[in-house]
């Protein structure tokens, strides 16, 4: 299963992003495909926070439009929403120590842990910080051919 990180969702949503077209194409292909794909719940929360943030975008996406975008994602019959499991703390702890995580990278470790708990085979992200988690294969669908 492939999981999609926040930045791909944001780029696919915000038309002014220089990465909009490749992100939108990649997201459309996976959402319309028959194979299961995933979004970690924290990425949904972060997406809404980022696109509605006045400091990030002028004008920001309205909350109504952001929620409608999430609703459209949720309409994909092959989408699986993933979150923490009973083994989350052990996985997060190990990733945090192994990846020498601090500050904002704790969120990345959380996403990586959730993906690993759900046997995600690759995470689509443009965030190079995920490279510190060798257990998780990360593919940037904006620069690499997504599989």
pLDDT in tens, 65-113: 999 999 999 999 999 999 999 999 999 999 999 999 999 899 999 999 9
Token readout for 17 is 């992003």
CB-based burial, 64-87: b 16+ in 10 Å, e otherwise: eebeebbeebeebeebeebebeee
- The values of phi and psi at residue 87, to 5°, are -95, 10
| Domain covering 2-139 in this structure, CATH number | 3.40.50.1010
What are the extents of the domains in the chain?
A: 2-139
Q: What is the pLDDT of residue 104?
A: 87
Token readout for 20 is 């909009």
Q: Which 8-state DSSP code applies to residue 82?
A: E
Q: What is the pLDDT of residue 145?
A: 56
* pTM across the whole model: 0.93
Mean confidence (pLDDT) of the chain: 95
Chain segment 104-128, per-residue pLDDT in tens: 899 999 999 999 999 999 999 999 9
Q: What is the pLDDT of residue 20?
A: 96
């Amino acid at each position: 299963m492939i999981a999609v990180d926040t930045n791909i969702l944001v780029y696919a949503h915000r038309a002014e992003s220089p990465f909009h077209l490749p992100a939108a194409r990649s997201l459309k292909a996976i959402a319309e495909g028959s194979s299961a794909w995933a979004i970690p719940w924290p990425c949904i929360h972060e997406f809404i926070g980022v696109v509605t943030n006045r400091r990030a975008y002028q004008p920001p996406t309205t909350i109504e439009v952001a929620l409608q975008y999430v609703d459209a994602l949720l309409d994909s019959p092959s989408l699986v929403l993933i979150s923490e499991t009973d083994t989350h703390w052990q996985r997060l702890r190990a990733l945090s120590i192994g990846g020498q995580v601090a500050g904002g990278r704790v969120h990345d470790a959380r996403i990586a842990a959730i993906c690993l708990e759900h046997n995600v085979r690759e995470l689509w992200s443009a965030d190079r910080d995920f490279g510190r988690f060798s257990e998780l294969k990360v593919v940037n669908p904006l620069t690499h051919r997504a599989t």
